């Protein structure tokens, strides 16, 4: 049996986003990237009395040399050690591999994202539906993606691979797959915005939400101005309920360590105690800042009873 069942405050994405949408705030989906930074994210949420989603993607698992079980076990250890009482979702971000999804669910993740967005609509529907059946049977929530959320790198090299989400397709997609949350492409991108600036297409968000009751997810939240995010969250009729934040956390960590290059997970784990605490404090502060200024989720742990 997974250790996840021992925490009352470890909840599914669906449970978390229902409360967020009803109360007009969003929950940050934070990528600590390095396992030693999981505690830093948890501390930020606890200090702010905010719910939080802690996530890692398939690409990050590979890049940093971590397994879903290592990530989950570290989260559970820290929830215990740091006496975390705020609601926490353990989420697998962007994953195409069904094997990784099964591994994460076995390890105790309470939410997974299947990203088959580069496939034609019918294939995206078929693959996402398969994951929904598998995950729901195990009490786990599913996020999928429709349209394509670009990376700022492609934007900078002039190969804009974004494809905005079509509201009518979104309606069909959600109805046929039964996903709990949908990542939509509406003007944000992954990475650091250098050349192109983010611009959220609010009317598209509203049109999608009008046609489907699914919870909306905004990826590429790093570097998007706070007022733009807040407007997307509080749109009449239901806005964005989950915002992914990865790049900004890693940037604040690297800046605190005065490093230009990212590390491997092993390098991060080998940091001396002074540097480690300095890095953690920087990540914690960034999480607190996002919670207060971007997400409007400060003090909202009390909305979960
Ligand atoms: Zn993403």
Q: DSSP letters of 59-81?
A: HHHHHHT--HHHHHHHHHHHHHH
Ligand 1 is an ion; its neighbours by CB within 5 Å are 219
User: How many CA atoms does the CB half-sphere of 194 hold within 13 Å?
Assistant: 10
- Check if the beta carbon of residue 89 is closer than 8 Å to that of residue 113: no
Q: Does the pLDDT at position 217 exceed 60?
A: yes
Instruction: Judge whether 93 counts as a catalytic residue.
Output: yes
Spacing, Cα 247 to ligand 1 middle (Å): 11
Q: What percent of the chain has pLDDT over 70?
A: 95
Span 113-149, pLDDT tens digits:
999 998 999 999 999 999 999 999 999 999 999 988 7
Spacing, Cα 223 to ligand 1 middle (Å): 14
Six token digits for residue 251 = 């940037």
Spacing, Cα 94 to ligand 1 middle (Å): 6
Return d(Cα 296, Cα 168) in angstroms, integer. 30
Over 160-207, what HEC string results? Answer: CCCECCCHHHHHHHHHHHCCCEEEECCCCCECCCCCCCCCCCHHHHHH
pLDDT score, position 155: 40
Query: Which is the catalytic residue, given 77, 93, 158, 168?
Result: 93
Q: Does the pLDDT at position 40 exceed 70?
A: yes
Spacing, Cα 244 to ligand 1 middle (Å): 7
DSSP β-bridge partners for residue 190: 151
| DSSP classification of residue 301 | G
Residue-averaged pLDDT of the chain: 92
Span 75-106, pLDDT tens digits:
999 999 999 999 999 999 999 999 999 999 99
Spacing, Cα 260 to ligand 1 middle (Å): 23
SS3 assignment, position 3: helix
Span 260-290, pLDDT tens digits:
999 999 999 999 999 999 999 999 999 999 9
Of residues 153 and 146, more confidently modeled: 146
Query: Rounded to whole angstroms, what are the CA distances from 191 to 118, 155, 222, 247?
Result: 19, 10, 7, 6
pLDDT score, position 211: 95
Strands annotated E in the chain: 27-30, 52-57, 88-95, 111-114, 141-146, 181-184, 215-218, 240-245
């Amino acid at each position: 049996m997974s250790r996840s069942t021992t925490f009352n405050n470890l909840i599914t994405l669906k449970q978390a986003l229902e409360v967020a949408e009803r109360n007009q705030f969003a929950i940050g989906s934070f990528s600590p990237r390095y396992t030693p930074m999981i505690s830093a994210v948890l501390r930020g949420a606890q200090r702010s009395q905010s719910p939080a989603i802690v996530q890692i993607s398939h690409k990050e698992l590979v890049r940093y040399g971590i397994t879903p079980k290592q990530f989950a076990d570290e989260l559970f250890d820290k929830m215990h050690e740091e006496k975390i009482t705020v609601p926490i979702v353990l989420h697998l971000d962007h994953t195409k591999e069904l094997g990784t999804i099964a591994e994460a669910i076995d390890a105790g993740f309470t939410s997974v994202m299947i990203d088959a967005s580069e496939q034609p609509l019918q294939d995206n529907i078929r693959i996402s539906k398969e994951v929904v059946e598998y995950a729901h049977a195990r009490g786990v929530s599913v996020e999928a993606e429709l349209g394509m959320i670009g990376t700022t790198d492609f934007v900078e090299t002039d190969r804009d691979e974004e494809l905005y989400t079509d509201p009518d397709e979104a309606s069909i997609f959600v109805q046929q797959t039964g996903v709990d949350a949908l990542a939509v492409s509406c003007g944000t991108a992954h990475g650091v915005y250098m050349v192109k600036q983010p611009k959220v297409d609010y009317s598209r968000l509203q049109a999608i939400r009008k046609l489907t009751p699914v919870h909306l997810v905004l990826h590429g939240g790093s570097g998007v101005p706070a007022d733009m995010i807040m407007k997307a969250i509080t749109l009449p009729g239901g806005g964005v309920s989950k915002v992914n934040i990865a790049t900004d956390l890693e940037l604040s960590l690297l800046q605190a360590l005065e490093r230009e290059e990212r590390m491997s997970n092993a390098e991060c784990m080998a940091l001396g105690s002074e540097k480690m605490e300095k890095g953690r404090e920087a990540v914690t502060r960034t999480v607190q800042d996002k919670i207060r200024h971007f997400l409007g989720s400060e003090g909202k742990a009390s909305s979960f009873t």
